Amino acid sequence: LIAGFKHKTPTEGREWSTDLTYNRNRRQNRSGFLTSTLDADGGQVVGGAREQLSDGATDADHFTWQFDMADPRNERTKFDYGLRSNVRMEHSLLDVITGTDTSAAQADADLSRDYRITDVVNAAYFNWTHKLSAKWGVTAGLRAEQTWFEADVRGPLDGGSQTFTYRYPNGTDDLARALFPALYFSRKWEGSREFQINFSRKISRPNFFQVMPFIMFSDTRNIRLGNPALAPEFISLAEVNHLLPFKKNPRSNWLTSLFVRHTDNVITSFSYPLPENNDILVNSWINGDQSITYGWENTVKLELTKTAQLTLGGTVQHVEIGAGTLRKSGWMGNAKANFNMKLPKDWSFQINGEYEGKRPQPQGYAIPNGGIDVSASKDFGKHWSAQLTVNDVFYTRLWGTILDTPSLYQETERRREMRFVRVNLTWKFGEQDASGFRR
């Protein structure tokens, strides 16, 4: 549900708008696991067959209110300011029943969870844009945020509960954690050529799966468990960007960037043996110390013909990351490619490929990963269209990690999904205005 209002004044460019968005969703899932233990001769071990049934559901309410004001003062100076409030409330319930070939199925208090979160972010921002000359400009901004996150983890069978919470700011000592300044200098030429120098501070919050305290099985010896005590990470970023169009083909361009990124309270994966059973490895996330990354990023867009475009991108960066006494560093690279071509009779063809190299982590590194997708689409008039997609054509997408510490070594590999062919049929009606979603 979206409601919006915009007011324009007699002064050119001066206007204000406000939007209210409400989303409610409910997710349900059911899964089953059957694990068998065999002896050296392949026979079934008595008591070694284990069955687990899980029923889960999540209810979520999400409110967002935003107010924006554009206030040009003259031909060279403009102010933008506004307010934003984001409230998210979720309730997730997981009931787990387990049993073996020697015991009756019963509710499992250790795996069942009743999880409730309240996530509130209130913010105010102010931006100042000024033309220093006909070619140079500057934009300075400041965003102040008030963050409150609370997670209540209850065991529905034993009645016990734990509460995890953080607030920014929490008094005057950590006031700086709630302030996010930004400064941008730009130099423009005729056409689309532009040079920028940027400095900014950002916040990145953990996602749903990183904080959800439910045990997720990839196998009985490796489980994934969210960390509800996980706090946001804070990023300081400096960039130098240059957008250069090609003289012979102005619609083709090259964007090159040099960057340095410092992340405090960095969110990183972390694995440890289960205290009750050292044969089981728990994969979770923690807030590490800090991460320092610097590198060079390039994107080249080529208009090969009026109907064919090719975009190539790649990044080379050095990563240094630490958590406690563990620290790793090294070089990594990634690359992307996109080829898009329009064909006669409203047909189009697209190829997408990406590759991400080995990435250092505090306990080892993530293995390289990449794949290629191919799709073709056809429009039937103004309202109907069809698309055929082949995902992971060469079956190369494989995620995994190698843990290598003085007390632990393990290699893991997994596939998020198998290669598949998908057909989509779309019927378009009405006129869509997505400006509220973009804001």
- Spatial distance between the Cα atoms of 282 and 119, rounded to a whole number of angstroms: 26
* 294 sits in which H/E element: strand 290-303
- Report which listed range, 97-106, 323-332, 384-393, is most confident: 384-393
pLDDT of residue 77: 95
pLDDT of residue 111: 75
Spatial separation of the C-alpha atoms in residues 121 and 163, rounded to whole Å = 19
Per-residue model confidence (pLDDT) at position 282: 87
- Judged against a pLDDT cut of 90, whether residue 253 lies above it is answered with yes
Q: Which is more confidently placed, 367 or 416?
A: 367
- C-alpha triplet 144, 145, 146: angle, nearest 5°: 135
Residue 111 carries which DSSP code?
A: T
3-state DSSP assignment of residue 16: strand
**How large a percentage of the chain has pLDDT more than 70?**
95
Sort strands 179-188 and 161-168 into parallel, antiparallel or unpaired.
Answer: unpaired
Q: How far is CA 86 from CA 63, 119, 199, in A?
A: 6, 8, 26
pTM strictly above 0.85: no
Rounded Cα distance, 359 and 291, in Å: 13
Q: What is the pLDDT of residue 326?
A: 87
pLDDT over 80 at 30, yes or no: yes
The whole-chain average pLDDT of the chain stands at 89
**pLDDT for res 220:** 65
Backbone angles phi, psi at 407, to 5 degrees: -115, 0
End-to-end CA distance of the chain: 15
Q: Using 50, 70 and 90 to split pLDDT, how confident is the model at 156?
A: low
Q: How many helices (H) and strands (E) does the chain have?
A: 2, 27
* Amino acid present at 53: L
Q: Is the peptide bond before 169 cis (omega within 30 degrees of 0)?
A: yes
Structure tokens at 4: 């919006």
- Classify each residue of 274-313 as buried b or exposed e, where b means 16 or more C-beta atoms within 10 Å of its C-beta: eeeeeeebebbbbbbbbbebebebebbbbeeeeeebbebb
Q: Are 154 and 113 in contact (CB under 8 A)?
A: yes
Nearest to 6 by CA among 65, 83, 64, 68: 68
Contact by Cβ (8 Å): 66, 82: yes
pLDDT at 431 over 80: no
Winning range, highest mean pLDDT, from 26-35, 157-166, 354-363: 354-363
Lowest mean pLDDT among 150-159, 180-189, 227-236: 150-159
- From the CB of residue 401, how many other CB atoms can be counted at a distance below 10 Å? 20
Query: How many Cβ atoms from other residues are within 10 Å of residue 82's Cβ?
Result: 19
Rounded mean pLDDT, 105-129: 88
Q: Identify the CA nearest to 336 among candidates 299, 293, 380.
A: 299
Q: Which residue has the higher pLDDT, 230 or 37?
A: 230
Least confident piece of the model among 153-167, 269-283, 391-405: 153-167
Is the pLDDT at 344 greater than 70? The verdict is yes
Predicted confidence at residue 311, as pLDDT, reads: 97
Phi, psi of 211 (to 5 degrees): -105, -15
pLDDT of residue 155: 67
Tell me the average pLDDT across 18-42.
Answer: 87
